[in-house]
Amino acid sequence: MKNITIISALIGLILISVGCTPMQAKKEQTVTTKQTSITPPIPHEDLTAEMLFHVLKAELALYDNNYDAALSSYSWIIENTSDYRLIRRATRIALGAKHNLLALKSINRWLEISPTDPEAIQLAVIISIRLGKTDEALMHLDTLLKQDTQQNKEKLFGMLAATLKGEPEQEQTLEALRKLTAKHPNDPYLIITLAEIEYQNRYYQDALKNISKAQKLKPNWQRALLLKAQTLFALGNYEAADKQFQQIFADDSENIQPRITYARALLTIGNIDAALNQLREIISISPENHEIILYTIPLLITSERFDVAEEYIDALLEKEIEVDTAMFHKGVLRQEQGRLNEAIKYFEKIKSGQNFLEAKFRLAQITADSGKLEQALELLQELRKQHPDHTTQTLLMEAELLRENNMRQRAIKLMNDGLAQDPDNHQLLYNRAMLAVDLKDIVQTEKDLRRVIELAPDHAHAYNALGYTLADETDRYEEAKELIEKAYAMLPNDVAIIDSMGWVHFKLGNYDEAQKYLLRALKMRKDPEIASHMGQLLIAIGKKKEAKEFLQRALDQFPESEIIIKILKQLEE
């Protein structure tokens, strides 16, 4: 029998979270009506004993994760109530469970009792697109366009865009929006919504065209300016994107959201210094924004700005804000400074929370680096016993320590043992493939990476790793190029994938294309492998002197790089 506390909580959920009590409904309705002319009255009714029974039955089924039973009960409820709260609840559950027919039934009932409710209309758009009912989607979108104020339309289409971005059938979504914009070519809210969905689906040139249309209809629109900056950045036009962002900052200097967007974009291309400038500007505008401070601290440590990082950490500790996270960052700071005994003390204080696992991993790393590899491995094995839900992560960390100590066969055995218990674990398969690459076992590498792609078809790095391996270790260059291009389509700003694009074009003899990608990768990250690729390209196009000078500079940065040393020796011969 269920605990009475659970039942009480469920009744509260029905009367409060789903909607509100009758008294609250009246209060909220009065306030909302003053704010906007589009919010409809909220029909509600007292729950009969029979209705309450079915609602409790549905909610208890949800509590037990029995969605079929819950949806069956809510199907009965939809047919027998006019209560907005219950119909809204049923709609949300059906949509979340991807039970599209029940969701359609519920939304239609919702629109019967409240035909101008914007939330119901937006959800009707979503379900119509899901079911391929483009004409019905257009009809509902038309209703949204008839809202009487710009403020209402801005809000509604902003919410609609956010929801549509999460829908699985993106091409159907684009089709519906394009038809509607053809019907309403002078509505900037609709046009910018289409541009946002085009941007998400990487139709960047189409997005730019629609952004320009929206800007002509609504000049100096921050939403359009920000989307244009993001689109230019995605296209690799960083200078033009920066000009757009600077215009946005000048127009609204106190708005931190565009700066957050820009900082994140800069981080995707490895421009940590520029990202830090934006984050520190955000902190100066909003010094109590502890989330941004916590986001900034690891970047400061990575860029060796230890004094500033410590200043931020100590301020959090002094105010007793996010103490565990601040202590974890203090441990990382001390580790990077080489003050390992202090780092260990901070990491040992982390007993739970989001940083617990990484704190343990760092303790293991410090232990292994001090020459106590077996002790470090034992620490991870004990962690695995105590926290079996972290089995995959601890296995991967253990394998990494073995790899660092040139014990790859032992690491592969560890992956084999893990896969014997969990044969479709794509993380373990991927890691075993990378270990097999190191051992020049290309057959095993290809087998594991193809299995990863089967299990996780959106695993861009698996496509990239397989493509790069085929380009580097075989003569299957065209096949390699197809795989890397798939990875690039998914992650066009990933430096490893950009480098792979350059390398496969080099192998194919497409030297101009190779140079374009390799220069872009080098701009994003100083890396010995990328530098070696550029050096080999310079040699191939007959620029041996430039190659030697370039590789010597790279060796000064990475004096232990075996590949750069090898190429330089070849140049001397």
The confidence score (pLDDT) of residue 46 equals 64
pLDDT above 60 (res 2):
no
Give pairs for 481-490: CB < 8 Å, separation 24+. Answer: 481/505, 481/508, 486/460, 487/460, 487/461, 487/463, 488/464, 489/202, 490/458, 490/460, 490/463
Question: Percent of the chain having pLDDT more than 90?
Answer: 48
Distance CA 120, CA 160 (A): 11
- The confidence band for 133, taking pLDDT boundaries of 50, 70 and 90, is confident
pLDDT above 50 (res 513):
yes
* Higher per-residue confidence, 69 vs 227: 227
Distance CA 363, CA 340 (A): 10
- The confidence band for 7, taking pLDDT boundaries of 50, 70 and 90, is very low
- Residue 46's Cβ-side half-sphere holds a number of Cα atoms within 13 Å equal to 2
pLDDT above 90 (res 478):
yes
The confidence score (pLDDT) of residue 241 equals 93
pLDDT above 90 (res 314):
yes
What integer is the mean pLDDT of 266-282?
85
The confidence score (pLDDT) of residue 362 equals 95
Which tokens go with 130?
């899901």
Identity at 395, one-letter amino acid code:
L
- The confidence band for 44, taking pLDDT boundaries of 50, 70 and 90, is low
| pLDDT tens per residue, range 524-542 | 888 999 999 999 999 999 9
Which value, to the nearest 10 degrees, does the dihedral of the CA atoms of residues 284, 285, 287, 290 take? -110
Buried b (16+ CB within 10 A) or exposed e, 294-322: bbbbebbbeeebeeebbebbeebeeeeeb
pLDDT above 60 (res 220):
yes
| pLDDT tens per residue, range 142-189 | 777 676 556 667 777 777 777 677 666 678 778 878 888 888 899 898
pLDDT above 60 (res 29):
no
pLDDT above 50 (res 1):
no
pLDDT above 90 (res 543):
yes
Q: Any residues with CB less than 8 A from the CB of 462 and at least 6 apart, and which?
A: 426, 430, 433, 449, 452, 453, 456
The confidence score (pLDDT) of residue 91 equals 85
- The confidence band for 407, taking pLDDT boundaries of 50, 70 and 90, is very high
What integer is the mean pLDDT of 340-357?
92
pLDDT above 90 (res 378):
yes
Contact 445, 437 (CB under 8 A): yes
Range of weakest confidence among 31-35, 538-542, 544-548: 31-35
pLDDT above 70 (res 37):
no
What integer is the mean pLDDT of 70-83?
84
Average model confidence (pLDDT) for the chain? Answer: 85
Q: Please say whether the dihedral angle defined by the alpha carbons of residues 195, 199, 203 and 207, taken in this order, is positive or negative.
A: positive
Range of weakest confidence among 39-43, 228-232, 306-310, 480-484: 39-43
State which of 99-108, 111-120, 303-312 shows the largest mean pLDDT: 303-312
The pTM score is: 0.63
Range of weakest confidence among 20-34, 112-126, 270-284, 539-553: 20-34
